[in-house]
Amino acid sequence: MEKTFLMVKPDGVQRGLIGEIVSRFEKKGFQLVGAKLMTISKELAEQHYGEHKERPFFGDLVEFITSGPVFAMVWQGENVIHTARQMMGSTNPKDAVQGTIRGDFGLTVGKNIIHGSDSTESAEREISLFFKDAELEEYSKLINSWIY
């Protein structure tokens, strides 16, 4: 089953949005297979956002993502990578449609509440950056037979 890496950023944690965000993915039918509250080191932040290291906002992005705890998660389900990105909304909350997480709760691109992997390759890379295999649970839920 497809897996993705999702993370409530420090602004989302501070604003008390962990429960709201987890709830949206649970209600959609996705299954949580790993989660932890953690503070990201500068090294991990630079690896995670490595593709943006030449961008002018890279320094601010690393500073922000390490500024307080994040809630890191792995979710699984059919088409979860793409669907989670749709549920998050556009990178800039001003363009994100209402009903999406960024559309409902965010105002600025620098504090856009949630991260989600954008491809199969980035999902695999990000899951292994943040989680050891032993931190991911494999379990079946009876409700899945009412979803699939």
Stretch near ligand IDP under the rule CB under 6 A, chosen from 23-31, 32-40, 109-117, 124-132: 109-117
Question: What would the two tokens of residue 36 be?
Answer: 């932890």
Is 102 known to sit in a ligand binding site?
yes
Nearest to 88 by CA among 69, 77, 103: 103
Q: Does 95 bind ligand IDP (CB under 6 A)?
A: no
- Told to judge if 115 belongs to the known catalytic residues of this protein, a careful annotator would answer yes
* 61 lies in the site for ligand IDP, by CB under 6 A: yes
DSSP strands (E only) in the chain: 3-8, 31-38, 70-76, 114-116
User: Distance of CA 148 to CAs 32, 81, 143, Å?
Assistant: 16, 17, 9
Candidates 28-36, 69-77, 106-114, 132-140; binding stretch for ligand IDP (CB under 6 A): 106-114
On whether the CB atoms of residues 135 and 34 are closer than 8 A, the answer is yes
- Can you say whether the dihedral through the CA atoms of 117, 61, 99, 97 is positive or negative? negative
Q: Does 110 bind ligand IDP (CB under 6 A)?
A: yes
Q: How far is the CB of 66 from ligand IDP (least distance, A)?
A: 13
The contact mask relative to ligand IDP for 15-54 (x = CB under 6 A, - = no) is ----------------------------------------
Q: Are 49 and 65 in contact (CB under 8 A)?
A: yes
List residues with catalytic annotation.
115
Which residues make up the interface to ligand IDP (CB under 6 A)?
A: 57, 61, 91, 109-110, 112, 115, 118
